[in-house]
Structure 1
Amino acid sequence: MNQVDPIRDIKEIKAMYEVLKRKSNRDYLLFKFAIHTGIKLSVLLNLSVADVRSAQNDIKMYWLEDHSPNIHIRLPEVLRRELSQYIEAQNMQDDELLFQSNRTLKGLSRQQAYRIIHAAANELGMLHIGLTTLRKTFAYHAYQSGISISIIQKYLGHQTTFETMKFIGISTKKSNTTIALTL
């Protein structure tokens, strides 16, 4: 299996948005939801409409993973609105899968999801992009925004912070911290 990388450059993320949105709203939202939540692929491909709807029938404000219920991932308002419009435009019911195959109306397979992401990346000349890229991109940008590596580690279900740093492509040799107390 080839090593895949996170998408580090925001411009490249926006370019992926454009390419995927041209192809289909489903593909665009699959990518956007994944990189904003860090959701596991197996969960992403089996999400139902009910999983993203709140009791008030709007899109949930926060995403929670079962294995880390104390970590709340806030969904951007734009993403919430786009999901709501997508569900409404597709006339989807709560029991339907959010990201369905257009042909079979069943959930997308891992292979279909890979083809979607890989084709968009190829169109943009981006290398080392795969399905794990989605989760890595989330983790990388969470880290870059100042979220503690230990929180990201817990959210991803990793055993060590070293594993998480390696996962997102941050060298532990580069990250030096100086603590200077004057008590």
Structure 2
Amino acid sequence: MQSDPIKNTADINAVHRVLTRWGNVREAECFIIGCNFALRVGDLLKIKLEQVKSDTIILNEQKTGKQREITINNNAKSAIDRLINWYQLQNVEPTYLFQATGNRAKKLSKPITARYLNMKLAAASEALQLGLSLSSHSMRKSFGYNAYVSGVDVRYLQILFNHRTELQTLTYIGISKKTISDVYLNSSIGVGL
């Protein structure tokens, strides 16, 4: 499935608002945390609540087997706090940060699934008419794109994403030929005639 980064932070906030308005608080906070952690969805959904009690999370990535340390920034901390408050209101004692609540009778602890999250994000994109193919992978790409345009060196993002080349990273975060062309158009220097 092709997924797009969200290049406008106002659109990221709009996705959060619409999910919250629909009563999908867990998914809204998952989206914000995902945009701030830049993890693959499989790694994100397996985070346990006990792992977010400090300022960093250490985990082993499923795909690469590499150990990864994530510093929890203020936006992610706020989202985690809102999520924990929501669980308390729901009388849920979660094992996972993104605990599925449908298995309470069987006392099974499972996180929500990527498929479920993808469905919610696609619905939000459609409702907001973003014109984007939005999925759980968009969170990771959105982190990369927004970090890059704010001045983070592509080499750091390359390391963060475990990409082999800078070009792979630029393509991954949605920096296209049109984006490069726009740099020329918007960087006109000299006297216009």
**Shorter-chain TM-score range:** 0.7 to 0.9
The Cα of 1:139 is off from its aligned counterpart by 0.4
Per-residue Cα deviation, 1:65-110 (whole angstroms, up to 9, x for no partner): 65475x754512x4313412432442465x7011122212521112
Per-residue Cα deviation, 1:1-43 (whole angstroms, up to 9, x for no partner): 3x32100012211111111112222111100000011011111
Structure 2 gap segments, 5+ residues each: 61-65, 104-108, 184-193
Kindly indicate whether residue 128 of structure 2 is the aligned counterpart of residue 124 of structure 1.
yes
* 8 Å Cα contact 1:37/1:63 also seen in 2: no
Aligned residue in 1 for 2:38 = 38
Kindly indicate whether residue 52 of structure 2 is the aligned counterpart of residue 79 of structure 1.
no
* 8 Å Cα contact 1:150/1:161 also seen in 2: yes
- Secondary structure of the structure 2 residue equivalent to 1:90: helix
Please identify, of 40-49 and 124-133, the stretch whose mean Cα deviation from structure 2 is larger.
124-133
Q: TM-score, length-normalised on structure 2?
A: 0.75
Q: Which has the larger radius of gyration?
A: 2
Distance, in Å, in 1 between the alignment partners of 2:70 and 2:48 is 19
Structure 1 gap segments, 5+ residues each: 55-59, 177-183
* 8 Å Cα contact 1:41/1:131 also seen in 2: yes
Query: Once the two structures are aligned, what percentage of the paired residues are identical?
Result: 26
CA 1:143–1:31 in structure 2 vs 1: closer, same or farther (change >3 Å)? same
Give the 4+ runs in structure 1 shifted more than 3 A: 62-69, 71-74
Q: TM-score, length-normalised on structure 1?
A: 0.79
Report matched runs for 1:9-158 at 5 Å: 9-22=8-21, 23-54=23-54, 60=55, 62=56, 66=60, 67=66, 73-76=71-74, 78-91=75-88, 96-104=95-103, 105-126=109-130, 127-158=132-163
Of 173, 178, 185, 1:168 maps to 173
Distance, in Å, in 1 between the alignment partners of 2:153 and 2:32 is 23
Distance, in Å, in 2 between the alignment partners of 1:21 and 1:39 is 22
Distance, in Å, in 2 between the alignment partners of 1:9 and 1:85 is 23
Q: Which has the higher helix share?
A: 2
Work out the number of aligned pairs and report it.
166
